[in-house]
Chains A and B, each alone.
Chain A
């Protein structure tokens, strides 16, 4: 098991374009989280899946953001009509049922120009 994997590691896009990120959790983990981290800040929760069900979405997640986790395996996070304010590191984490620890991926750094 290689841990939580995120792809791509870096993405540069023009304002207004759509982008999609992928997260592959640790295989037996049924919980998956997306966080956003801007420079100098701690990660902020975006959304949470238990298996394939999206159970919570942060108010940070505007209508331009959508996340899926088909079949309870990998997850995708799509941002439509990107804005410069979307520039950030997007982190994915997975865990077994609480209270076990969450394991993080290396993140996808998005730059919107």
Chain B
């Protein structure tokens, strides 16, 4: 079974600074997808960024980028120029490749606070 581990329950960052959120996972699959989701206090989960395991290039979406280390099974999220609106819970998630039930396996999440 696949597992996703987020070992840091909370992190804090100063506005405009950079923060990195860590995630490790375990799988025997070679093809899969990894995600970071954001869950603001209103509770609706929003996709931040997605990484396909077969792609060596790290995904980037504006201020958000990932460091994907497939051999180490590590998938960290870097948020640059942090903004107050980035404060939320962040979940790392895994999904098997297309063709299978595309359910998501989530980590426990990390609460990110942004200091003005």
Contacts and interface: CB of A to CB of B under 8 A. Distances in A.
Interface stretch (B43-51, B56-64, B68-76): B43-51
Given A97-B98, A101-B50, A48 B103 contact: yes
A106 B42 contact: yes
A19 B77 CA distance: 38
Interface in B18-67: 33, 35, 37, 42-47, 50, 52
A42 B103 contact: no
Given A104-B45, A106-B44, A43 B102 contact: no
Interface in B84-107: 91, 93, 95, 97-107
Contact of B43 (A41, A89, A101): A89
Interface residues of B, number: 30
Nearest to A97: B98
Contacts, number: 65
Contacts of B78: none
Interface string A51-92: 000011000000000000000000000000000000001010
Contacts of A33: 103-104
Interface in A14-54: 31, 33, 35, 40-45, 48
Contact of B106 (A44, A55, A89): A44
Given A42-B91, A42-B107, A101-B50, A56 B101 contact: yes
A99 B44 contact: no
B43 A106 contact: yes
Contacts of A95: 102
B103 A45 contact: yes
Given A99-B33, A104-B44, A106-B43, A42 B108 contact: yes
A40 B10 CA distance: 11
Contacts of B103: 33, 45, 48, 56
A102 B35 CA distance: 11
Minimum-distance CB pairs A-B, first 4: A42-B106, A98-B102, A104-B45, A98-B98
Given A43-B91, A89-B43, A93-B45, 6 more contacts: A43-B106, A48-B101, A98-B95, A98-B99, A99-B98, A99-B102
